[in-house]
Structures are given as C-alpha cells and as structure tokens.
Structure 1
C-alpha cells in the first residue's frame, strides 16, 4: 500500500467518524432540535405542544458575530490597498460566500477553502472556493500540527433523490451512484472511486495529476484552536442549554393549556340517577332493554352536571357535596425561569442580552458599546483567525499564477454600534485639529476606500469652486474700486 492509499483510508475513516457530530451541530443550528421529554402514551395534544415548544436561539447566537465580519479591502505588505487581490476577491464571489466560512467556524469549529488552477482563455486561471467541512479532512503534520500533511476530499456523484425505499449498495452502484475521494499532498492529487455510497473498502485508483501549487491546496480556518491545532466550538456546550430552554417552554405551554385558568371542583357528588327507592336507573333501548357497556355491565343514567355561567346557579344533590375553586398557575414564575436560562445561553455564547431579550432601550453610544464588549472581543478573535486563513488562501492564489507569494491582510469594515452624532462630533474636531482629512473620513460609518476617494474628490472640487468664487469676487471688487467716478467737490 503506497502513501496515497494509506492517506485515503485515514481520511475517509476520519470523515465518516465526524459525520455524527457534524450533523448534530448543523441540525441544532438550523432548528431541528430534540423534542422535550413526554411520557409514553400521551395524547396528540401533548405531541403538538412539544413541537410548538421548540424555539431556536442557537442560530442568532451563532450568527451575531458572523454578521459583524465584513471585509472591505485587502492591503499589501506596505499597508496599501492591493487592487489585484480585491479584484480576485470579487471574482471568487467571496463578498457573499465569506459568510459561509465564518459560520462554519462558529458552528463546526472550522471552515475550509480551496485553491486550484483552471483552464482559461489565454492561459491558466485560478479559482478559490469555499468548501463544506463535512467533505474535507486535513491531517495535521506530526512534526507541526498547524501544517497539514495531506488532505482528503470525498463526495457522492450521480446519487438519486431519496425515495423512502431502501436500496442495496450494489444496486445503487448499478444505477450509476459512486463515491469519489481525492487525496492531496504538496505535489499531486490522486483520485479514487468506488460504486455505491456505503462501506470503506472497494476503492479503485482512477487518476493521478500534479496540481502545481507546491503546497496542499486547502486552507483550514480554525476557531478556538488548542496547542495541537484542535478546534473547539461553543455550540457543543450550548445544545444542552437549548434543550433545557425548550423543556421550560413545553412546561409553560402545558401550564397555559391546563392550569392557567381557575378550575371549579366538586367532591362528594354522585352523578348516577336513582329512583325513589334509591335504585340505579339504567339506560334502555327502544324495546325497554338495558344497554350493556363495553365492560359487560348495564350503563347507568347520569345527571347532567351544572353549566357555569353568570346567570346560572350551580346546584348539586347530595348532603356531602362540596364545591370549591383551584387557583390558576402563576405563569410569571415560568417566564422568570425562562428568561434566566435564556440569559445564561447568550452569556455563554458571548452575545449581548438584547439579541434574545427585549430589555434594553434608549441607551447611549457608550452604554451600548459596553453592553456589546464581550461580543466585540469574540468578533476580534474571529477576525484574527480569519485573517490568518485568508492570508494563506491569497498566497496559494499567487502560487497558482506562478508568482512569488506575498503576505496580505484583510481590512474589515467597522460594524460596531456607535452613536452617529458622537462620531460626527469627533471627526469634526479631528479635522479642525489638522488631522488628515482622509483618515477622518475613514472613521465614518460605512466608509470604504472607494467612498473615501469619492468624498476626497468632492471636497477638492468644492475647494476649487470656493477658491474660484473668492477670486471672482475679489476681481470684481478691484475693478469696481478703480472705475469709481470722482465727482468734483462742492464749490470747485
């Protein structure tokens, strides 16, 4: 067995072993969560309440930091805007797909991107793609776990939509379905295929092709990595908390359904109808025969119980009959517990409470920034981790073009909440203090290099117009002074 086959079995086994955890995290993130516990044999009403109890708070907790991740430009080693790199960024459609990488970092602990050469008119093109971490395995180098020794990508081709019928693996292979796995090292990629969609054996080597990048063409974006480059996602700790919140909602719905209103109770009341001698009166058919119930006993006649109403009086026969009320449940206790559990979940996710609870209003810019300080720290960590991965991706793009790899970094948009009036006041004071105008404009919300260039051009045009107006006014004033008619003084 050569290295490619050995790497194939290691990678395929690792991908299959990770599927359960990957699917569990993804389903919980998407809201497909565990139903609250209910004992066996409960009614359909209970099952419907279990479904209604699911409230997916994991998705906003995971999306909150991702929504703050927005690249606005790419700078080179000298700190200047790299126009070519930004054009590549747009061409690779990373303006929208970058979110996929950051979301996988939050939910799965790792995002993955790949770089490859493509056939293009006039030469060799380059393609950078966002990958699904479920299908890509990067094996850490034993000497340096932060570098990959090899990579394996596995996917299914020609798989037909599920019909609900079980189909043997051999039959699926006969229908054209097959599994493809490609092993990558620093030099080449080796393609393996096998019919069907199950099992770990039966692989056949199909092709071997040099990829020409001089490095493994995959980049991992790890989140919360340890000293062995192992990733840790907080969603694993949030899933039990989400299940507890769903259980509290289920209990609240039960209380609302069955004990949220005052209940009237009667004890000692005998509903069975009796004759003057005290004998039970039974239900009879048209022929006068007593009707027998499922238990084989005659069915007794029952007195109708009193109907509650504002214009009715409840009267129950019997000397031992007692009527009283049961107080309704205090739903506020459920809401208090629910709010506390929800706050704990968002605190664990480093997400401000206003994302889950409507408890903040009319806050100043400083107060809002303080409330979001933990989220800001989390976003800064994500940006540093994403910058490291994007730098490697851009270096692979250089290698694919046959150029000398360069170091670049992502410049992020300022998406932190701030008071607009405070920003304008600060920018105005900076400009008045002879701070570079371009740098001051760059602090404005929504500022991008293109917008700043436009603002500078508009300011320069206004300055030219103002100077022209002043020059025209001065010229007119000078001409007016020289052509003043001097009238002779009185008596001359």
Structure 2
C-alpha cells in the first residue's frame, strides 16, 4: 500500500502539471466557442463609437463549426454481443436513468473542440442495476497513458475546488460569512483511488482517504479525436480560430465603411462664414443690453452667414471668390460583402460544413442535391462516430462491471441514428423494401427517424396484436360463410 501511495502522489504531480499546461489553450478555445472572441484591431485612443463597432463586428461562426457535426451524433440504441438486436435492458437500466440522451452531447463537443472528451463510470450503492455514468470536464481530468502503449490509459487525475463557508467569532451581520476554498484531487488506477486535499491557500497536498473502486479497470474513458502516433489528441477547430478573427475584422471594416463613407459626402472649401465690414473686420454679435456676446473662452462672438439649406428647389450661394463645393463618392459596400462571403465560404470549407448552413447559398434543391452537398460533413460525422462509438462501448462495458456482471461484452456495438438528409417518403420506401426482402421488422424500423428500442418494441407488439385481431376476424368471417 505504501508503494501505491508513492506512485499515486507522483501521478498527482504529473497530472496537475499537465492540466496546468493545457489550461491556457483549453480556455482560449472554449472562450471562442462561446462567442467571447478577440476584438478586431483598432488604433489606440479610438473613441467610443469605434469601440461599439468593434463589439458589433463579432459574429460567432465557431459555434456552428462545432455543433454542425456533433449534433449529428445521436445514439439510438446499444447492441450487445449476445444478441442481434438492441438490448432493451441496457437501454432502460443504464442509458435512460443516466439521462444520456441529452448528456451524450457533452463529451462529443469536447472531443471535437479540444481533442478529448471524458466520461466516468462508478457503482451506484442506491441501485446496483443502474451504475452512475457522468460526463467529465477535460479541463479538470487528466488521463495518463501507459508508457509502452500510449493508446491505453492506466491512471487518471481529477482536480477541482470546493468552496466552504464557515462562521466567525466577529460581530457581523447574520448574512456575512467567511468562505474558504479547498482543492480536492483524486488519483485513480485500475483498482484503487486516492483522495488528496490542499487547504488554506497552500499547494501542499495531503492524503485524506483511499480505497478500491471495484471495477478492475480505469473508471474513466477518453473520447479522443485526431490522435497522432504518440496517442495525443488534437483539437479539430484550432485552425478555424484565425479564420474567425479574419471574419470579424472584415465585418469591422464593413461597419466602419457603412458608418463613415457609405453615403455621398458634400465638401466645402474656401468658405468664410464670418460676416465682415467694409474694412474686413468681423462684425460682433450684440446682446439686448448693447454689450458684445462672448463665447466660453470670453471672446466676442462674430456674426455668421448661413450656408443655406440643401434641396432640389434651392440654390446654394456662398460669398467669397475662393469658395468651392464638390462631392466625395460613397464607398462601394458590395466589395466588402464579396470579400466577407469568400472568407465565410473558406471557413465553412475548412470546417467541412455544408453550404445549406449559409441559407443564401441554397434554394429549391432536391433531396439528392442536398445529400451531395452534405457529403463532406457526413464523412466527418462518420469519422467522429468511429471514435466516439468505441469510447461509448467501453463506457457500457465498465457500466456492466459496475452492476456486477462478470461477462465481458467485447462484441457490443453502438446503434447510431441516421442523420443524413432524406425525405420521410424515401426512408419509408427503403424500409419497406428491406422488410420485403426478408429483413426483420424490428431491425428495419430502428432506421426510422427518432426510433428507440422501447418505441420499436411497442410498434412491433402493436403490429403483432393488430395482425392477430385481423386473423381472428378473417377466421370468424370464413366460418360464417362456410355452408352448414
């Protein structure tokens, strides 16, 4: 045990260091996904109007880049190696109680955004049949790889903060309390867990408890994407951040052009509005008391000629031989829009996002044309399904261990929802042909949009019941029609 504690303490140091190293990039990507992005460049000392245009220029395309592929990852069922159809028991006792219909999106999005999503599995002492499956934050959990096999994780470190409130002996209002933060760390291996705490603002870890988790396997599963030969995952959206900055800069320049040069500007030169006497001296404005009117600096205010008002039925006449009037043409905003459109097209192409996400690019397309436009996204989705599917299968194996099953289900398989764009009529026609060719109705109906194992079972039961009723009615009718 002492040796295991030493190893756990060393792993804690390594995990803490690794989490610290990735923290800056992790937060940077997360900030961009949430729309908190760097403002376009503007010179120092610009006024509030410029700063408002900077804020308005942010358009969060990064969120679309992440959600477009990950929203297509929807689990419809889990097929175990012991049967050919979806396992309803696993679905009803493991998947649904853990609310994984909605929570499955969390590791998928972190896998795509940061290269790795994480899920944990643990036994449920309140209900042994339903183990706990939880998405974990990749910012707080580090998975340590085997030195000889970088694709296999053998230990994990999870670090988080716990805020505690405590009373004080000082005489203060009842609502005022001091608070303290305790840093908590768990170190896991394939058999044991160790809990460490650091209190009082210090970085010194102290072992507080330890025990066995009983899974005989690491209770964390990594959802890794873009793995290299060293087993290190890479973010799929890191290269899109400069593209997002470029789009924001173009929008900022467009807003500047719209604000200051989108309209024709009339320019006056050589015009002196001051009224002067025959000697060329300004004529001073006088008040009701006969005294000169003064400006804020105490200087006399001269009388001014009105430049006139513009209108189609008016002529502008200015005193002075040097007065000139001319126009500055407006900026051509079409050029800005064209550049923005081209950069946006490049952004979507790099992110493998189909053009229908830009609604102006798609109109009156057939189902076949829409499917062709989606081909690159579907290739990306299939790649993500391969990575996420293997991880989910491992999660289910750990869940079976946590519920006490001794059978190691190496043949389990995830049943993914069909999210390719097809009309409902096309889907029904294809399913009807499959059933006519001999495919079981239960398997074929799982291909319907939104089909789940419980729903398909209900459909099959209803269909069988209705068929039995029809057979009974036909038999009764035949008996009545037979001659006596």
2: CA distance, partners of 1:26 / 1:45: 29
Cα distance change on mapping 1:355 and 1:293 into 2, 3 Å: same
2: CA distance, partners of 1:291 / 1:463: 101
SS at match of 2:131: strand
Alpha-carbon distance, 1:45 to partner: 1.1
SS at match of 2:239: helix
The answer to whether the 8 Å contact 2:121/2:131 transfers is: yes
Could you report, residue by residue, the CA deviation over 1:139-175 in whole angstroms, capped at 9, with x for unpaired residues?
A: 2211111112321110011168xxxxxxxxxxxxx83
Alpha-carbon distance, 1:284 to partner: 6.1
Cα distance change on mapping 1:397 and 1:255 into 2, 3 Å: same
The answer to whether the 8 Å contact 1:438/1:456 transfers is: yes
Cα distance change on mapping 1:127 and 1:469 into 2, 3 Å: closer
Cα distance change on mapping 1:417 and 1:124 into 2, 3 Å: closer
The answer to whether the 8 Å contact 2:88/2:454 transfers is: no
Alpha-carbon distance, 1:429 to partner: 4.1
- Corresponding residue to 1:349 among 348, 351, 359: 351
Structure 2 residues without counterparts, runs of 5 or longer: 166-177
- Corresponding residue to 2:157 among 143, 152, 158: 152
The answer to whether the 8 Å contact 1:293/1:299 transfers is: no
Cα distance change on mapping 1:439 and 1:84 into 2, 3 Å: closer
Please list, as runs of the form range in 1=range in 2, the aligned pairs for 1:42-441 lying within 5 A after superposition.
42-78=46-82, 79-86=84-91, 87-120=93-126, 126-158=131-163, 175-196=179-200, 201-282=203-284, 288-289=291-292, 291=294, 300-404=302-406, 405-407=408-410, 408-432=412-436, 436-441=440-445
SS at match of 1:183: strand
Alpha-carbon distance, 1:80 to partner: 3.0
Could you report, residue by residue, the CA deviation over 1:3-59 in whole angstroms, capped at 9, with x for unpaired residues?
A: 222111111111122111111111110001111111112121111111111111110
1: CA distance, partners of 2:420 / 2:466: 31
The answer to whether the 8 Å contact 1:112/1:218 transfers is: yes
Could you report, residue by residue, the CA deviation over 1:224-247 in whole angstroms, capped at 9, with x for unpaired residues?
A: 111111111122111111111111
Alpha-carbon distance, 1:392 to partner: 1.6
- The match for 2:171 is none
Cα distance change on mapping 1:52 and 1:147 into 2, 3 Å: same
State which structure, 1 or 2, has the greater radius of gyration over its C-alpha atoms.
Answer: 1
Could you report, residue by residue, the CA deviation over 1:40-84 in whole angstroms, capped at 9, with x for unpaired residues?
A: 121211111111111111101100111111111111114332233
The answer to whether the 8 Å contact 1:193/1:204 transfers is: yes
Cα distance change on mapping 1:426 and 1:206 into 2, 3 Å: closer
Please list, as runs of the form range in 1=range in 2, the aligned pairs for 1:34-49 lying within 5 A after superposition.
34-49=38-53
Figure out how many residues of one structure are paired with residues of the other and give that number: 464
SS at match of 2:65: helix
- The match for 2:169 is none
- The match for 2:458 is 454
- The match for 2:168 is none
The answer to whether the 8 Å contact 1:185/1:216 transfers is: yes
SS at match of 2:360: coil
SS at match of 1:41: coil
Cα distance change on mapping 1:27 and 1:159 into 2, 3 Å: farther
Give TM-score, length-normalised by structure 2.
Answer: 0.88
Cα distance change on mapping 1:411 and 1:425 into 2, 3 Å: closer
Cα distance change on mapping 1:97 and 1:476 into 2, 3 Å: same
Let me know the Cα RMSD of the aligned residues. 2.6
Structure 1 residues without counterparts, runs of 5 or longer: 161-173, 483-492
SS at match of 2:449: coil
| Higher deviation after alignment, 2-11 or 455-464 | 455-464
Could you report, residue by residue, the CA deviation over 1:268-291 in whole angstroms, capped at 9, with x for unpaired residues?
A: 222233222212335567663574
- The match for 1:163 is none
Alpha-carbon distance, 1:450 to partner: 3.2
SS at match of 2:361: coil
